[in-house]
Every structure is written in structure tokens, then in C-alpha cells.
Amino acid sequence: MKILVIGSGGREHALAWRLLGDTGVEHLWCLPGNGGMARLPNGECLAVPPGGLTDAPALAALGESLRPDLTLVGPELPLVSGIADEFTRRGLRVVGPSKAAAQLEGSKAFAKEFLLCNKILAGPLYGIFDSAGDAYSALCAVDWPCVIKADGLAAGKGVLVASTPDDATAFIDRLMVAREFGAAGDRVLLEEALRGPELSYIVLTDGEAILPLVPTRDHKRVFNGNRGPNTGGMGAYSADGLVAGDLEERILGTIVRPTLEAMAREGHPYRGFLYAGLMLTADGPQVLEFNCRMGDPETQAIVVRMDFPLAEALQAAAEGRLREINARWKPGASACVVMAAAGYPGEPRTGMKIGGLEAAADVRDTVVFHAGTKLQGGEVVVSGGRVLGVTATGADLSTAVARAYEAVGKISFDGAHCRRDIGATGGSGGASGASRGAGSEV
Ligand SMILES: Nc1ncnc2c1ncn2[C@@H]1O[C@H](COP(=O)(O)OP(=O)(O)O)[C@@H](O)[C@H]1O
Ligand SMILES: [Mg+2]
């Protein structure tokens, strides 16, 4: 099998690494890949066409020239831009939803209206607004804290859990007047704040059969104790028992299955990975958001526990016969600790050499996934904000976490920082404005 993986982050390195572990996968193209993917045996990194990852026709034309047996799309941008439709039109097998189905992530207004129409539990909506004036006015009638969301894709920066009207007004201003995220902020949602621990619940589906991945929890804030500004994710973990008792059946029965059935009924059947961002409230699980792809760094914590051939499962999903796949998981737990560059989540400093990667990889049951790295003259250097996802498994969470941090301790680059409490706290800690806290130098 020859596989094309689209994307360049830790998620894509983790997927590529797992796929190359399957017998029968003989070649893997990474578009564009990163420093870690460039060093994979049987891996090959290719340049993205000039139109970038939103130019679905150009990406599909490249796919047509490579003729992979399967294409796996990591990030949301190409999916929301219609890459799956373009590949399918050319007779190329692809894992990922159509442009219409990817609206579940591409438009939070679409997702919210879909959830409300289909009576799937989600945070109550105050309203959806197309002008800053209307949004400001609506603030008079909300309870605090109140959640403000940009409708479109904003790379994880388009949501604020605002404690005061002043914070809310300032954020609406950034979205709708300063247009920090362009058209993504031209429409905003105001919703009620839910309380509870969060959970990332991701499934693979061919539209009918559902293959649930091990549930995970991520850590969005940059500093220990869920303080500081939001990031793309500073770590994630999975553990047997993270979702207790009948909760998983409840998530599948009240959220995942109704979502897939309603999407099919409404004329856009959903295929690919569906990520439900959930709040586990006292009244049960409720949807915060959907993503149309796997999470980063959740993927890193998931792939290391897969005990079944992923390539086969993806191929079955693309061909509508996912029910044939029997997924098995390594018992225990996993943890991924993200090592970030100085300055992240602001503008990261880049170009520093990374040392100790071999020693880290020697730590038992540990893999170092690359994200913002590139090869330069045979050396691995920092090229982005989230640099590495140091990922380990263990019989229990504390063992997995200890192994990941042991490996972190062997890696060095100037200005490196990471959280020290991955797996130790409640995880994802909301999206309210920046508070102060000390980072942790490695
Ligand atoms: N209704 C809500 N109540 C409380 N917190 C919320 C709510 N919606 C979002 N959040 C918080 O904001 C974070 C980001 O929101 P989310 O909808 O996941 O958007 P995105 O991931 O696109 O930034 C969530 O992980 C959660 O911590
Ligand atoms: Mg989210």
C-alpha cells in the first residue's frame, strides 16, 4: 500500500509513524511533512503546491500524479476547502469528510443550529450575530461567564469564556471590528458557559459503522495549572477508566450516533474522523464543538495505544466497510508532553538545534513525534511553536507520564518550555483570557 498523508504537525508524524508500522504499507508521502517525517524509513516529504493547503484542486492534481492507494488528511483547512470531494471526483480513496460535512467544524453557527435542530445536547445559545452592534446589545441579557465564539476557523484562538462585559466587548471588537481572524469573525455566537471536565471523544466512521478511539483529554493553556493563554495544545493523555461506566455508551447513543444519522438525513453523510469536544456536565455529556479530523496532540496519545492495523481500518473506512474492522487497544495509559519553542503561543523563536533525540527515543515505551522541526544540514532544528510531542505508554497513567518526562529531560534546545502537569490535572481548562503564570524551562 502507498499512502499520502497531508499535514506537517505532530498529529501527522504520529499517524505516519503508526501507518509505517503496519505490514503492507510500503511507501508514505508526506505533504509537506516535517523534520521527523523526513527521517521515516520509506517516507518521502513533498512540497505543497503554491496555492497551499486550501487549494483543493491543486492538491488533488498532485494526488492524481502520485496515485496513492489511500490519502489521509490531517488538518481541517483542506477538508473545509473540499479536498475530499476533489479526490473522490478523481477516483482517489480518501479518509475525511466532504466539504459539506466538514461544515460541522468549518462553521460553529452551522454546528450549533444542527445540534439545536436535532436536539443533541450542547451549551444553550443566546444568539448568532452578524454585526458587532447586535452582539454588544445582546450582552445585556446574558449570564456571566458568557462564551463568545467566532463562526469560522481561527486556529483555536476564536473562543473566549468572558467573565465580564468589558472582556466580552473587547473580544467582539477584535473579531468583528479589527477582524483579527478575517471573515471567520464576521459572525459570532454567544452561548451559555457549561461547567465540568472536558473530554476529546474521537471516532472513525464510514457513515454507518463507528470505530471509537480511546478517549483523551488535552491541556490547552500554556502554563501549569491551566493558566496563561490558550495554545494549540500542550499535552494530552488517555487512560483506561478515564471514561467511567456507561458514560461511553451514553456519548455514543446521545451524541455520536444521532449526529451521524442526522448528517446523513440532511444530505451530507459524514465519513472520516469525527471529533466531539465534550463537557461532562452534571447533567451528562454536552457538545462544545465538533472537529472534522483528529486532534493534535490527542492523536499522539491515541496512536501509541493502537493494537490493530490502522492502514487497514482507514482503507475499510474509505471503502464503506469499516464494520469488518475489529479495533484492539493496548491496555493502560498514554501521555504526550509537548515541548514548545521560546515565545510560543506568541511568535516562536526558531532555528535552534535540538539535541538528545536519540537518548530520548531510548526511554522505554517512548516515541518522540516531531511538529515544528525541520532538517537543516543533517541536523534537526526548531521551525515552529510546538516543536515535539514526547509520547509514552505505561500500565497506568503515572508510569506513562513518568516515562514521557524522563524522555523530555534528555532533549534540549535553547528556550524550550513544557508543562509539568500533563495528566496530573483536570486537563483542558477553558479559554478565558490570559492570566499570569510562570512557564517551565526544560
Ligand atoms: N459553552 C461553553 N462553556 C464553557 N466553556 C466553553 C464553552 N464552549 C467552549 N468553551 C471552552 O473554550 C474552549 C474552546 O472552544 P471550542 O468550541 O472547542 O473552540 P476551538 O477549539 O475551535 O477554539 C473549549 O475547549 C472550552 O474550554
Ligand atoms: Mg476545541
Band the pLDDT of 430: cuts 50, 70, 90: very low
pLDDT at 432: 39
Rounded Cα distance between 373 and 366, Å, is: 19
123 lines ligand 1 (CB under 6 A): yes
Band the pLDDT of 244: cuts 50, 70, 90: confident
Calculate how far, in angstroms, residue 289's C-alpha sits from the geometric centre of ligand 2: 6
User: Strand, coil or helix: what is 267?
Assistant: coil
Confidence check: pLDDT of 72 > 60 = yes
428 lines ligand 1 (CB under 6 A): yes
pLDDT at 245: 80
User: Strand, coil or helix: what is 357?
Assistant: helix
The stretch 421-433 carries a mean pLDDT of 63
430 lines ligand 1 (CB under 6 A): yes
190 lines ligand 1 (CB under 6 A): no
Residue 261 — φ and ψ, nearest 5°? Answer: -65, -45
Residue with cell 469499516: 322
The stretch 103-122 carries a mean pLDDT of 98
pLDDT at 211: 98
Residue with CA at minimum distance from ligand 1 atom 2: 193
Nine-digit cell at 123?
451549551
Q: Choose which residue among 159, 278, 428 to substitute to test ligand 1 binding: the one with the highest number of ligand atoms within 8 A of its C-beta.
A: 159
Confidence check: pLDDT of 216 > 60 = yes
Band the pLDDT of 427: cuts 50, 70, 90: low
The stretch 379-389 carries a mean pLDDT of 98
Q: Choose which residue among 128, 161, 218, 220 to substitute to test ligand 1 binding: the one with the highest number of ligand atoms within 8 A of its C-beta.
A: 161
12 lines ligand 1 (CB under 6 A): no
**Angle formed at CA 23 by CA 22 and CA 25, multiple of 5 degrees:** 75
Confidence check: pLDDT of 431 > 60 = no
Residue with cell 441579557: 141
Q: Which amino acid is at 90?
A: R
pLDDT at 123: 86
pLDDT at 438: 40
Band the pLDDT of 436: cuts 50, 70, 90: very low
pLDDT digits (tens, 9 = 90+) for 17-37: 999 999 999 999 999 999 999
- The answer to whether 372 and 387 have CB atoms below 8 angstroms apart is yes
Nine-digit cell at 56?
483543493
232 lines ligand 1 (CB under 6 A): no
Ligand closest to Cα of 149 equals: 1
| Closest atom of ligand 1 to CA, residue 431 | 12
Ligand closest to Cα of 428 equals: 1
Calculate how far, in angstroms, residue 2's C-alpha sits from the geometric centre of ligand 2: 32
pLDDT digits (tens, 9 = 90+) for 385-424: 999 999 999 999 999 999 999 999 999 999 999 999 999 9
Rounded Cα distance between 158 and 296, Å, is: 17
277 lines ligand 1 (CB under 6 A): yes
Confidence check: pLDDT of 435 > 80 = no
Overall pTM surpassing 0.85 (yes/no) = yes
User: Strand, coil or helix: what is 67?
Assistant: coil
Calculate how far, in angstroms, residue 159's C-alpha sits from the geometric centre of ligand 1: 6
Confidence check: pLDDT of 253 > 60 = yes
Band the pLDDT of 434: cuts 50, 70, 90: very low
In the chain, the percentage of residues whose pLDDT exceeds 70 is 96
- The answer to whether 84 and 16 have CB atoms below 8 angstroms apart is no
Confidence check: pLDDT of 428 > 70 = no
Calculate how far, in angstroms, residue 42's C-alpha sits from the geometric centre of ligand 2: 33
Ligand closest to Cα of 298 equals: 2
Ligand closest to Cα of 158 equals: 1
Q: Choose which residue among 128, 199, 289 to substitute to test ligand 1 binding: the one with the highest number of ligand atoms within 8 A of its C-beta.
A: 289
- The answer to whether 359 and 2 have CB atoms below 8 angstroms apart is no
pLDDT digits (tens, 9 = 90+) for 125-134: 999 999 999 9
391 lines ligand 1 (CB under 6 A): no
pLDDT at 433: 35
| Closest atom of ligand 1 to CA, residue 192 | 1
289 lines ligand 1 (CB under 6 A): yes
Calculate how far, in angstroms, residue 154's C-alpha sits from the geometric centre of ligand 2: 11
Confidence check: pLDDT of 439 > 60 = no
Ligand closest to Cα of 231 equals: 1
Taking every pair of C-alpha atoms in the chain, what is the biggest distance, in angstroms?
60
Confidence check: pLDDT of 81 > 70 = yes
**Average pLDDT of the residues of the chain:** 95
* Nearest alpha carbon to residue 7 among 63, 66, 58, 75: 75
- The answer to whether 10 and 37 have CB atoms below 8 angstroms apart is no
* Nearest alpha carbon to residue 395 among 333, 304, 329, 306: 333
The stretch 284-307 carries a mean pLDDT of 98
The stretch 250-273 carries a mean pLDDT of 98
Cα torsion 218, 191, 286, 182: sign? negative
